Amino acid sequence: MPLRADIKKVLVIGSGPIVIGQAAEFDYAGTQACRALKEEGLEVVLVNSNPATIMTDKAMADKIYIEPLNLDVVKRIIEMEQPDSVLSTLGGQTGLTLSMQLAKEGFLEAHNVKLLGANPETIDKAEDRQIFKDTMLRIGEPCIPSKVVETVEDALAYAEEIQYPVIVRPAFTLGGSGGGIAYNPEELHEIAENGLRLSPITQVLIEKNISGWKEIEFEVIRDSNSNIITVCSMENFDPVGVHTGDSIVVAPAVTLSDKEYQMLRSAALNIVQALEVEGGCNCQFALHPDSFEYAVIEVNPRVSRSSALASKATGYPIAKVATKIAIGYTLDEIVNAVTGNTYACFEPAIDYIVVKFPRWPFDKFVYAKRTLGTQMKATGEVMAIGTSFEQAMMKAVRSIELKLDTFNLPKLQMLSDSDVVKLLSRCDDERSFVVYEALKRNVEIDQIHEITKIDKWFLAKMNNLVKMERKLVKKELTPELYLEAKKMGFLDKTIERLSGESVPEKRYASYKMVDTCAAEFKAETPYFYSTFDDENEAAEFLEEHQSDKKKIIVFGSGPIRIGQGIEFDYCSVHCVWALKEEGYEAIIINNNPETVSTDFDTSDRLYFDPLTPEDVASVIATEKPWGAIVQFGGQTAISLTKYLEQAGVRILGTSAKSIDEAEDRESFDELLQKCQIPRPEGKTVFQLDEALKAAKVLGYPVLLRPSYVLGGQNMIIAHSDADVEEYMNIILATGIENPVLIDKYMMGIEVEVDAICDGTDYLIPGIMEHIERAGIHSGDSISVYPAQRLTEENKQTIIEYTGRLAKALQVIGLVNIQYVIHNGEVYVIEVNPRSSRTVPYISKVTNVSMVDLATKIMLGATLKGMGYETGVHPVGDYVAVKVPVFSFEKLHSVDTMLGPEMKSTGEVLGIAKTFDEALYKGLIAAGYKIKHEGGVLMSVRDKDKEEIFPIAQKLEKMGFKLYGTKGTAAYFNNYGLHVEPVNKISEPGADNVLDLLESGKVDYVISTSSKGRQPMREGVRIRRKAVERSIACLTAIDTAKVLVDCIGMNESIQDVDLVDITQI
């Protein structure tokens, strides 16, 4: 069937802020969806609260609402815009759940809106545990013995019946939030209770533990004519028990014979037919390793992280095809965009192997519980394509940016053999490294398999890497051995380090095409990966598609991690678009399968490969680019600068020298002196004793951080020698190449500026001010544009300084500068000569396409030439408030106290005519519940008490019941405020502060503590309990203040203006 005639205007619901379990993959899916709809001439209305996305770009839809993703807002948008359809399956769980609520309430029907992509029955069949089980039973697909329960007692009773260990899966939660494996009644009690609370329908599934079985996934697509195909199979390196988002995954499945493969494939088709999905669907199976027994684990009737991976792994654009199906097309009508002459109704055949490797945040959250289970913890992932598993694994390990180029983890080398074997049974993020270490210690594959249940196929392949490493160490480095090592994915650098010899005759990689069909048909898609074969298809492609256009490489930003998120993909993609518009050929190198930048039709050519200098060198050897751009790919791309300069590659924009000048402490200090711009006093140290001495000289509190950081990685404010010691010990344990910086901590308003410079003039689209005072990482602060509290003089100084710095650093392109206003004076804290986290949002609200302008400037344009005056851009009619979003419920034992180290995973934006309304929208969008009654628990350090007092007073006036830990309560009571004292955890007696939190009487927690972040500390435990109980916990006075103001405003979501940002 072709396009349905009754579809003219479609509402697309996005997935909201990036959180663990729902990340950039939905921007990728949503962007593909919007483009697919627009391609058909349909009018697209978009709602998404996440401003860092490409899908919320003006080019993507006709009407764009960056508004809170809740039912009331979406209803109002439907009433205003009167779309005839809603597309529900491209916005992750958030979009799906909202659509279902709208449908079930009858709202869609009442407004003549069709639900595209899924119907409520399908979703219930897939997502409601009991209906799902019944459906599977009806069609004869086996499920794992399990039972849906609604109370802890029922959970315990059923667990006795099927025996421990059991798995707890809460219904309708993201990324498996609140789930886990329980080995005994005590554990089950805890996990089930938590899961029941997190489930919006208070249901959890208690399930027989089948950990150790193989975990296999299929991505299926079905259309309205019941045509059905599988796009890709995937096999998890880690057997059942580890969330697939936390597993190393290979595509296609490798240890299944055709019989097993077809059995599961048929089962997947059977399920998707029964569910009557129209679009994409993910089916997860557990397969007994020693029989044909299998069980359906889970079905996701929408595009997902796995479908993004499957799309990138095969070249098959699942989100686009799913969208076309949703608006009426059938698979045999949709052309396969990769070959251009076959159709979407076929199954990709691939002639390589793909490895997906998760990126976890444990390098930042050093106290987080690292064990992996049913709850996802990874923030992002990389994908690697190779002609062998070994090659793909080696590419993956150097792409995750943990400074590794093999599976040798330095800290494991110190352990005894028996300790290594012991570690094998611990299932955490380091397991693949432990496996490698065990293989190096000659632990038998059988024994490793026995302990880990990882299939021997994977272990034998890992062992091949071990063998190669040994060969390189022991044998002479002949050209044959060198080539063999290259084919296994070793870098020259690694080969030389292991063998102690220089490589015989350097080989650059050649490239193969990802074509969906294993070369069966000629493909035109410029999507390549590196190998060490003779034939270079990329070079052939260039030969066949000769053009006079200059070629420019844009480096992507690698895996999504805290501090380097989707905003950098936004920037890379915009840069590519600008280059194309200016008549250049744009080439992307990136390794992140969740992104728009790695879509094969974003750039002129896509190289899906690691971003190390050596990997990049091969692309350069093939492409011979005219220039390269490093400004937009975050620190990942910036790190390539030195290499590119040495290699003689033209770096467009700010020079390597300037980049270094901003990052190197000493030259930066000199530059500031030259510009006569003050900054907080600071020192550079390598050792603990130096650090302590420096801290004493500067005077506490001091700020500690390693140089060359991103997202405030490993940054703290130290208030005492003990803090400095704790910090230095952690830093020194991981080994440091660059010094640690110690600065005087200055309290004050933090201000952030992004500017575009052409060498002569500079443009500041807007000055942003942070709600939280300096000391909290800018990424974790609520950021307001335009700044509300600055004096005119401050503003002028900031504009003046920005111009001076930009000129002195000879910035060509973007620069991000952070200031603090301390006692009325402006100080510079940080200068980043590159794009920043705030670029997407500030571009959207000021209408200054920053990346676009910056790119054009790098190509030679001037601001004046493009019609911009130097200085600050006129302030518009709207106030925008960016609010960070965290994923603390996924990360056990992480202290939620905000500080100089970034902790948020995503952000939302509130836009309105007034600050109050924008703030209200931002907080609502970030998930804060604005309640007007209830309880507030306060536990704050002494120095904060005075400032908290007026906040507490306000709360009391509004009718909140106040609780406080003893010290806090006593202080307030002294000043005549009634605060009920509560016992600390350490104090004897029942009803301590944790019991209070459990009781449900508390709606907000205000908690600040002066001491470190160890999980056992009182403050940390209170905050963790708040996270577990889903109670809003405010750890900064300033955040608490604005939230309380917001509660006092009596705003309602029914009253706020909804803003179509295309009209700004």
CB of residue 137 to other proteins, shortest distance in Å: 22
Beta carbon of residue 236, minimum distance to other proteins (angstroms, whole number): 14
Residues of span 270-299 touching other proteins by CB under 8 A: 289-291
> Considering the complex, what minimum distance in angstroms separates the CB of residue 429 from other proteins?
24
Is 459 within 8 Å of 435 (Cβ atoms)?
yes
Considering the rule CB under 8 A, would residue 262 count as an interface residue with other proteins? yes
Asked whether position 957 contacts other proteins by CB under 8 A, the answer is no
DSSP state string for 552-576: EEEE---S-BTTB-HHHHHHHHHHH
At position 93, the amino acid (one-letter code) is: Q
Interactions with other proteins, residue window 847-876 (CB under 8 A): none
Radius of gyration of the chain (CA): 28
Segment 731 to 750, residues that bind other proteins, using CB under 8 A: none
Q: Taking contact as CB under 8 A, which single stretch among the options 82-90, 154-162, 258-266, 749-757 is the one that binds other proteins?
A: 258-266
Render 959-977 in DSSP notation, one character per residue.
Answer: TEEEEEEHHHHHHHHHTT-
For the CB of residue 278, give the shortest distance to other proteins in the complex, in Å. 15
Nearer CB in complex with other proteins: 512/1041: 512
If one counts every other C-beta atom within 10 angstroms of the C-beta of residue 2, the result is 10
Say whether residue 444 binds other proteins (CB under 8 A): no
Q: Is 80 in the site for other proteins (CB under 8 A)?
A: no
Which CB sits closer to other proteins, 140 or 874? 140
What residues does 267 pair with on adjacent strands? none
What burial class does residue 456 get, using C-beta atoms within 10 Å of its C-beta: 0-12 exposed, 13-18 middle, 19+ buried? middle
Query: How do strand 980-982 and strand 960-965 relate by DSSP bridges?
Result: parallel
Cβ at position 314, least distance to other proteins in Å = 11
Tokens representing 551 are: 């070629």
Residue 544 touching other proteins (CB under 8 A): no
Instruction: State the nearest-atom distance from the C-beta of 434 to other proteins, in Å.
Output: 20
Q: How far apart are CA 1047 and CA 331, in angstroms?
A: 51
Residues 332-371 contacting other proteins, CB under 8 A: 332, 341-343, 345-353
Please say which residue, 519 or 722, places its beta carbon nearer to other proteins: 519
Between 233 and 818, CB nearer to other proteins: 233
Instruction: Report the nearest approach of other proteins to the CB of residue 288 (Å).
Output: 8
- d(Cα 834, Cα 162) in Å, to the nearest integer? 57
Q: Which stretch binds other proteins (CB under 8 A): 203-211, 381-389, 730-738, 924-932?
A: 381-389
Of 102 and 517, CB closest to other proteins: 517
Number of shown-chain residues binding other proteins (CB under 8 A): 56
The one among 15, 48, 244, 330 contacting other proteins by CB under 8 A: 330
- Let me know the angle formed at the C-alpha of 79 by 74 and 81, rounded to the nearest 5 degrees: 90
**Among positions 184, 266, 673, 847, the unique one binding other proteins when judged by CB under 8 A:** 266
Shortest Cβ distance from residue 268 to other proteins (Å)?
A: 11
Choices 221-229, 420-428, 641-649, 995-1003; region in contact with other proteins by CB under 8 A: 221-229
Between 457 and 949, CB nearer to other proteins? 457
Give the nearer residue to other proteins in terms of CB position, either 522 or 696. Answer: 522
User: Is there binding between residue 317 and other proteins (CB under 8 A)?
Assistant: no
> How many Cα atoms occupy the beta-carbon half-sphere of 306 within 13 Å?
34
Nearer to other proteins by Cβ, of 74 and 331: the residue is 331
- Under 8 Å between Cβ of 1038 and 772: yes
Least spacing, CB of residue 519 vs other proteins, in Å: 4
Nearer to other proteins, 251 or 902 (CB): 251
Residues between 458 and 487 with contacts to other proteins, criterion CB under 8 A: 460
Alpha carbons 964 and 424: distance in angstroms, whole number: 45
Burial class (CB in 10 A: 0-12, 13-18, 19+), 395: buried
Query: Looking at 5, 41, 106, 259, which residue binds other proteins (CB under 8 A)?
Result: 259
Shorter beta-carbon distance to other proteins: residue 480 or 1055: 480
- Strand segments, DSSP code E, in 648-715 are 682-685, 702-706
**Hey, how many other C-beta atoms are within 10 angstroms of the C-beta on 116?**
28
Phi, psi angle pair for 1026, to nearest 5°: -60, -40
Residue whose tokens read 């971003």 = 611
Nearer to other proteins, 319 or 331 (CB): 331
For residue 652 the two structure tokens come to: 């467009």
Least distance from C-beta 521 to other proteins, angstroms? 7
915-925 and 1037-1049 helices cross at what angle (nearest 10)? 110
SS3 state of residue 877: coil
In whole angstroms, how far apart are CA 192 and each of 87, 148, 244, 1029? Answer: 34, 11, 21, 13
Is residue 174 within 8 Å of 233, Cβ to Cβ? no
Per CB under 8 A, the segment of 102-110, 228-236, 543-551, 875-883 that binds other proteins is 228-236
Closest to 1063 (Cα-Cα) out of 117, 58, 31, 10: 58
The least distance separating other proteins from the CB of residue 460, rounded to whole angstroms, comes to 4
CB of 539 to other proteins, least distance (A): 13
**Among 59, 269, 503, 930, interactor with other proteins by CB under 8 A:** 269
- Which residue, 230 or 247, has its beta carbon nearer to other proteins? 230
Q: Which stretch binds other proteins (CB under 8 A): 5-13, 383-391, 994-1002, 1034-1042?
A: 383-391
Q: In what order do the strands lie in the sheet with 510-513?
A: 510-513, 527-531, 605-608, 585-590, 551-555, 627-629
Q: Contact between 457 and other proteins (CB under 8 A)?
A: yes
Which residue in the set 38, 453, 456, 549 belongs to the binding site for other proteins (CB under 8 A)? 456
Residues 115, 85 contacting (CB under 8 angstroms): yes
Q: Binding to other proteins by residue 450, rule CB under 8 A?
A: no
Among 71, 131, 156, 254, the residue binding other proteins under the rule CB under 8 A is: 254
- Report the C-alpha gap between 617 and 503 in whole angstroms: 16
Sheet of strand 740-744: strand arrangement: 682-685, 740-744, 702-706, 716-718
Please, how many CA atoms are within 13 Å of residue 339, restricted to the half-sphere of its CB?
Answer: 22
Q: How far is the CB of 351 from other proteins (least distance, A)?
A: 4
Out of 143, 198, 331, 578, name the contact with other proteins by CB under 8 A. Answer: 331
* Interface positions, 499-538, toward other proteins (CB under 8 A): 512, 517-522, 533-535
Q: Toward other proteins, which CB reaches closer, 347 or 405?
A: 347
Give CA–CA dist 474/466, Å, rounded: 12
* Residue 389 beta carbon to other proteins: minimum distance, rounded to whole angstroms: 7
Strand order in the sheet with 249-251: 294-300, 279-287, 214-222, 228-236, 249-251, 353-359, 380-386
Distance in angstroms (rounded) separating the CA atoms of residues 774 and 781: 9
Q: Is 309 in the site for other proteins (CB under 8 A)?
A: no
| Cβ proximity to other proteins, 225 vs 914, nearer residue | 225
Segment lying near other proteins (by CB under 8 A), choices 68-76, 178-186, 262-270, 792-800 = 262-270
Determine which residue in the list 101, 130, 202, 227 makes contact with other proteins, applying CB under 8 A. Answer: 227
Catalog residues that contact other proteins under the rule CB under 8 A: 225-230, 233, 252-259, 261-262, 265-266, 269, 289-291, 330-332, 341-343, 345-353, 387-389, 445, 455-457, 460, 512, 517-522, 533-535
